[in-house]
Amino acid sequence: MAAPLELDLWTGEDVRIADVDTALAQLRARASLEAPSMRTSVMTHLAWVPDEWLERARDALAGMAERHPSRTVLLTPDPGNAMSRVDATVSLECYQAPGAARNVCSEVIELRLLGARAKAPASVVLPLLISDLPVFLRWRGLPTWGSPELEQLVGVVDRLIVDSTEWDDLPAAYARLAELFDRVAVSDIAWARTSRWRHLLASLWPEIGAVRTLRVHGTPAQALLLVGWLRSRLGRDDIELEHVDAERLEGIELDGKPAPFPPGDPPQPSDVLSEELETFTRDPVYEAAVRAVVA
Amino acid sequence: MPALYALMIRRLLPARFAIVGVARTEGTDDSWRAEMEQAVKDHARDEFRQDVWDELAALMRYVSTDFADEGGEDKLEQMIESCEQEKDLGGNRVYYLAVPPPAFPTIVEALGKRKDARGWTRLIVEKPFGHDLASARRLNELLWAHFEEREIFRIDHYLGKETVQNMLALRFANGIFEPIWNRQFVDHVQITVAESIGIEARAGYYESAGAIRDIFQNHLLQLLALTAMEPPIDFTAESVRNEKVKVLKSLHTPGPKSIVRGQYGRGFVEGEEVAAYREEQGVASESMTETYVAAKLFVDNWRWADTPFYVRMGKRLARRETTIALQFKSAPHPPFEESATEGLRPNVLLIHVQPDEGVSLAIGAKVPGQGMQIRTVHMDFLYGGAFRTGIPEAYERLILDVMLGEATLFTRADETEEQWLLVDAIVAQWQRDKTSFPNYEAGTWGPISSDELLHRDGRSWRRH
């Protein structure tokens, strides 16, 4: 992953979206003075990022622009603020195009929605979506089920990306998540992190078809999703789950017998997010796994 | 005035020149200069330069008069003659009329009678150019009674926008676009003129005009005509306008199912709650004025037969955007697995008129890596990034064109009449077919029936 060649920045308080557009245009013009720059976009990437998630969200974004030239809009709600306004930080990240004397630039817009302006986030982001391209929404933390913010944003995006590892009230939250499946395609980073293990378990067919107990050393989300996956794929709801809490997926036992470790290293957070941004359609296997968890 | 300032800073104004401001409001040269100085500081695209402004301000005079009063026009005439003598101007005059329709006949007659035979006289007429076909014809007859058509410049500032002119360059200066600019390759065309603002204290005008007279009759039909017209034999005013008129003549009146109108209710724009149209100051509480129009239009000629032109325009929509999108037909037989193209959308050539002036082409490209995954990417040509010079405001170009006598980017009488002919036919249908208002929330993309207009054809509005 290369570091950005240049990082130009504009900030403003109590801004209109037109100000953001103007700032972007000026940043692009400035970047093109230094080297011919191309604005190449493949999507709009929205992220709902409450304050406590902001640093982690920025870390996950590092390098994303290089792999997914896009417009990223980070929305940080601050509904308790006495003021009602939108503050913005707009930056341009440019990377040298391989083998070419020009740069490819992506746009990152951080919007802090203060007071009443946090109530209608869709109306803030609608003017910023890049036409004709897919829109992804990364919701950090537990979605506020049924809230106007979530309902509005789900209404304008193609894909909702969550990480159920970030949720406390499992498995109940999966029932609320399943209610969204018919409205928006959903990706779950916790699910993506089980991918290597699912491939490995699938390779154990047909023996795995008779498994009675699955013991997972990992996060609650990973444990639940893995057992849900096995139950839904095997068509059996009698598979028992034993969960040993760990910060990451460290191992799996089938009827007390350790499963072999999958090859390779676990992917980095930005790699996982990056892969999810390349998926466009619903994931019926994931949806079935979630439904099996809460059945 | 910001346009004149921009021309001044670039030394594009004539060496001998004077500007005379005329209004009923009491004022002096100095009070008017101060007002205009502030307007330049607020709205000019260039940084304010005191030396340039002082030079321009020295050329400015103000007349407070009312043409409706006996001898009202004489005060203006005296001022103009004084300027002409002082600066040895030779009698060339440009009159710019931004006046309410009732004042129009008196002013046109007064100016027409006082044309200076020593030089040329040109008259810039702002919209609204009439309220319907009959009133537009009366206006044309009034103008022709005192001026020749070549002296009349009906202004539509959209035509002065660089991107609109660039579309002509795109089409007629490149060999690759024109061969596919037709019904064989284009699935349909979408033209959007969207504003996020409301009526901004213009209730008096807007209540009687509505979206169809405010935008559809002029800007939108002009954009459509430029998109659909045949290549002109040259870029002279008559050649270009002849081709535009042919397009306007070939538009047939859409039936009631092909027209949608809307009016905004309360909603959110940029996170702020905004009032419904009927709650705006000066708007009737039961107003039936439309703030949104969508239509499916057909250009009945050899090039475009059966190719729909979906157009929409409105106020309090999700964002400010004027675009022309040509959506091309899908590849006839993509040899890829279905899963490889799940993120792929049809090719779209998108012309951004405002904001972000430029052109985008949406194409399918392979995602780098193993396997064959194809997704849509945008190749963007942004004006600001490609050329180092700033983009002139539309009025700069248009005012300069009037001074040069170049009428290509102005609307001819027969164009306005063809535009009104279509609008009158649509409005007549509305008299018989009442709609329930409001029918869309402010901050959205319009009524659901507008989406259904395209869904019935198996299409959808471009996503935003």
Name every chain A residue with its beta carbon within 8 A of the beta carbon of B318.
123, 126-127
Q: Which among B153, B154, B236 is positioned nearest to B402, based on CA atoms?
A: B153
Quick one: average pLDDT of B204-217?
92
Q: Do A123 and B269 touch (CB under 8 A)?
A: yes
**Number of domain units in chain A:** 2
Look up residue A120 and give its amino acid.
Answer: A
Q: Which among A124, A123, A168, A125 has a CA at the least distance from the CA of A143?
A: A168
Do A205 and A116 reside in the same domain of the chain? no
A150 and A225, same domain (yes or no): no
Q: In chain A, which among 15-44 make CB contacts under 8 A with chain B? A: 16-18, 21, 25, 28-29, 32-33, 37-42
Q: How far is CA B134 from CA A42, A72, B241, B414, in A?
A: 50, 52, 22, 13
Q: Which domains does chain B have, with CATH numbers?
A: 2-155 (3.40.50.720), 159-455 (3.30.360.10)
Check whether residue A143 and residue A16 sit in a common domain.
Answer: yes
Q: Do A66 and A133 reside in the same domain of the chain?
A: yes
Say whether B375 and A42 touch across the interface (CB within 8 A): yes
Per-residue pLDDT, averaged over B298-327, amounts to 95
Q: Are residues A147 and A207 in the same domain?
A: no
A83 touches chain B (CB under 8 A): no
Q: Are residues A19 and A121 in the same domain?
A: yes
Least confident among A231-245, B302-316, B374-388? B374-388
Same domain as A125, residue A11: yes
Q: Given the residues B219, B252, B378, B455, select the one marked as catalytic.
A: B219
User: What tens digit of pLDDT does each residue of A121-149 get?
Assistant: 999 999 999 887 889 999 999 999 999 99
Last residue of one domain, picked from the residues A130, A157, A184: A157
Domain extent at residue A250: 192-262+286-294
Angle, helices A269-276/A54-61, rounded to nearest 10 degrees = 70
pLDDT at A1 over 50: no
> How far apart are the C-alpha atoms of A217 and A224, rounded to whole Å?
11
* Residue B464 designated active-site: no
Q: How confident is the model at residue B378 (pLDDT cuts 50, 70, 90)?
A: confident
Assess whether A147 and A41 both reside in one domain.
yes
Strand partners, B382: B358
Any idea what DSSP says for residue B13?
Answer: S
A33 and A153 inside one domain:
yes
**Average pLDDT taken over every residue of chain A:** 87
Which of A157, A183, A215 is at the close of a domain? A157
- CB-count burial class (<10 Å; 0-12, 13-18, 19+) for A206: exposed
Specify if A200 maps to a domain: yes
Question: Does residue A144 lie in a domain region?
Answer: yes
**A233 falls within a domain:** yes
pLDDT band (50, 70, 90) for residue B57: very high
User: What residue ranges in B19-170 does DSSP mark as E strands?
Assistant: 19-23, 60-64, 93-97, 121-125, 152-154
Q: Is residue A224 situated within a structural domain?
A: yes
Q: Which pLDDT does position B388 carry in this prediction?
A: 55
CB B52 within 8 A of CB B8: yes
Instruction: List beta partners, residue B123.
Output: B95, B152
- Please determine, for residue B93, whether its predicted confidence score (pLDDT) is greater than 70: yes
What distance in Å separates the CA atoms of residue B268 and residue B271, rounded to the nearest whole number?
Answer: 6
Say if the Cβ atoms of A132 and B379 lie within 8 Å: no
The Cα–Cα gap between B71 and B56 comes to 29
Shared domain for A95 and A233, answered yes or no, is no
Task: Please report the pLDDT score of residue B224 as a whole number.
Answer: 97
Phi-psi region of B152 (alpha: psi -120 to 50; beta: other; left: phi over 0): beta
Does A132 contact B382 at a Cβ distance shorter than 8 Å? no
Is residue A134 within 8 Å of A102, Cβ to Cβ? no
More confident residue, A173 or A35: A173
Residue A99: the pLDDT is 67
Q: A134 and A234: one domain?
A: no
Read off the DSSP letter of residue B6.
Answer: H
